[in-house]
Amino acid sequence: MSSRPPLSHTDPSGVSALTWTHRLTQLGPSFFTRLQPTPVASPRWAACNQSLRQALNWPETLFDDDHLPAFAGNALLTGSDPLATVYSGHQFGQWAGQLGDGRALWLGEAASAQGPQEIQLKGAGRTPYSRGGDGRAVLRSSIREYLCSEAMHGLGIPTTRALCLVASPEPVWRETRESAAVVTRVAPSFLRFGHFEHFSSQGQTDALKALADHAIAHHLPECLSRQSRWQGNVYAALLDEVQDRTAKLLAQWQAVGFCHGVMNTDNMSLLGLTIDYGPFQFMDGFDPGHICNHSDHQGRYAYGRQPNVAYWNLYCLAQALAPLINDEALTLQVLEGYKSLFPRYLGDAMRAKLGLTGALALETEREADWTLVEDLMQIMATEQVDFTLFWRHLSHAVQDQSSAAAVQPEGWHRITDQVLDRPRLHQWLERYTARTGQPQFAAMAQTMLQTNPKFVLRNHLAEIAIRQAKQGDFSEIETLHRLLQSPFDEHPGAEAYASVPPDWASQLEISCSS
Ligand code: AMP
Ligand code: MG
């Protein structure tokens, strides 16, 4: 790889569009390998995320054709310092040993209106960590990553972001011949649980400590105040902080019916971001056992199992941090926290879906609300209702009832029309009304319509954008991006994007291949 000729810089004048820092490089060479991206043939813009660029206050010139080569990996952004980092991890419950950025290149941290942001090119060629892989990403999976990052952000769920997408006709072989793409990802940090597992498994405690100190100093300074809860042990506080963020993230995933598909420890963000979009899916028909990844034969990462898998992954992180925390009892005490944190976050997220946001004085009230949630979810599972539409219809039904003088059974028709067993749902709706009282419905409906999205990135919607992009038309990516950026708005005229999948979509199979 070192024999490649050096790439040119994007700004021959030496004036960089971005202001860079490279704090990760201070960790030293055992954490990464410096290398250049491998150019692709005939790159073309497939998508430019102007709203993210604006939010970060990065210049408009970034998406000029002058910068296209840099986002294709055919030139270097002036001031960048490309490298691939090393990590390890547990995949499908087994220790997988060394992995690392096999097809992602870290360019550095660029100053932004939201603080320093790391920029990565995904699909920019082989690295020392590619193992058997080609270092490439196919157009199909890159469109899915681009759109889903932005859809998650639109839903208010922490995620790595997608700045732009470049397509190339360069052939990439998966099950068949496909074409290449490069996604530019942005996040405050791309650190994963696997980075810590790597140095811990190698017995490199000094490196592990340097990494943890780097993470705390630059990305999770709240650990410094949190350590007082953990006998002044800042690494226990680190575990606690990551656990808290992970529990919150999982609650948010469950609440929108998002299945990640490959929750290996190398795909778990230290910052609690959704990272590494592969065979993910927003559920259509509700099934707690839904498996979105066709390569996941055991259903390890089924929708209903995700919260437990996250906990299992936190155990792996705890084990990796053990040499630093150096107190087994304290570590276990931190981990105990998940058992109350996650249910509380999930309870709050699900209560908000019902429009219940007020503070609860008593634990028994919390339990009563959870029973209400669970009973509704049971109806949803029995009826296999469309997850997204059902919650949206319920929000509208509450809105309908709010403008009536009193609740009328037929006033619920928008939601009761969605099920076969209407008496059962009516019974539940009576309990729900008794819980809040109809005068609250107007305010509740407002909350619900801002909590239960109209639009999610359903597999078939991504598939339509992918099929058009393969024909050279990238406009559907733009259309979907626009809708998914504000998924709680009605977007009149876009009803087709909010409806259940067409029959052909049942044939779609999403695997790890990307
Ligand atoms: P994933 O399951 O996509 O999270 O990837 C697991 C590991 O395989 C990571 O270390 C990736 O960098 C690496 N990897 C996945 N696909 C490729 C590829 N096409 N070329 C090189 N490395 C890859
Ligand atoms: Mg990964």
Atom index in ligand 1 nearest the CA of residue 99 equals 10
Nearest to 27 by CA among 162, 279, 169, 211: 211
Active-site residue, from 11, 101, 266, 296: 266
181 CB under 6 A from ligand 1? Answer: no
Q: What is the 3-state secondary structure (H, E, C) of 296-338?
A: CCCCCCCHHHHHHHHHHHHHHHHHHHHHHHCCHHHHHHHHHCH
Domain ranges of the chain: 9-190, 194-349, 361-449, 459-504
CA of 135 to the centre of ligand 1 (A): 8
Please give the pLDDT value at position 158. Answer: 98
Residue nearest to atom 7 of ligand 1 (CA): 99
CA of 99 to the centre of ligand 1 (A): 8
99 CB under 6 A from ligand 1? Answer: yes
pLDDT digits (tens, 9 = 90+) for 4-54: 678 888 776 556 789 999 999 999 999 999 999 999 999 999 999 999 999
Please give the pLDDT value at position 360. Answer: 84
Residue nearest to atom 12 of ligand 1 (CA): 102
Mutate to test the pocket of ligand 1, among 98, 103, 265 (most ligand atoms within 8 A of CB): 103
Q: How far is CA 459 from CA 27, 159, 170, 469, in A?
A: 40, 19, 25, 15
**Burial letters for 389-425: b for 16+ Cβ neighbours within 10 Å, e otherwise?**
bbbbbbbbbbbbbbeeeebeeebbebbbebbeebebb
| Residue position matching structure tokens 């408009």 | 60
Please give the pLDDT value at position 6. Answer: 81
Atom index in ligand 1 nearest the CA of residue 137 equals 19
130 CB under 6 A from ligand 1? Answer: yes
CA of 133 to the centre of ligand 1 (A): 7
Mutate to test the pocket of ligand 1, among 106, 131, 262 (most ligand atoms within 8 A of CB): 131
How far is it, in rounded angstroms, from Cα 122 to Cα 11?
22
**Do 164 and 61 touch, CB atoms closer than 8 A?**
no
Record the tokens describing residue 300, joined without a space.
């390890």
89 CB under 6 A from ligand 1? Answer: no
267 CB under 6 A from ligand 1? Answer: yes
CA of 292 to the centre of ligand 2 (A): 16
Residues of the chain with pLDDT under 70: 1-4, 12-15
102 CB under 6 A from ligand 1? Answer: yes
Catalytic residue at 266? yes
Percent of the chain with pLDDT over 90: 94
Backbone phi, then psi, for 284, in 5-degree steps? -90, -90
Work out the angle at residue 377's Cα, subtended by the Cα atoms of residues 258 and 367, and round it to the nearest 5 degrees.
105
Residue nearest to atom 17 of ligand 1 (CA): 133
Residue type at 209 in one-letter notation: K
Beta carbons within 10 angstroms of residue 91's beta carbon = 18
- Output the CA torsion 108→109→112→114 (10° steps): 140
476 CB under 6 A from ligand 1? Answer: no
Please give the pLDDT value at position 89. Answer: 98
pLDDT digits (tens, 9 = 90+) for 398-419: 999 999 999 999 999 999 999 9
Please give the pLDDT value at position 13. Answer: 59
Please give the pLDDT value at position 169. Answer: 98
pTM for the full predicted model: 0.97
Please give the pLDDT value at position 229. Answer: 97
Question: How would you class 37 by CB atoms within 10 Å of its CB: exposed for 0-12, middle for 13-18, buried for 19 or more?
Answer: buried
Residue type at 415 in one-letter notation: I
pLDDT digits (tens, 9 = 90+) for 277-292: 999 999 999 999 999 9
Residues with CB under 5 A from ligand 2 (ion): 267, 276
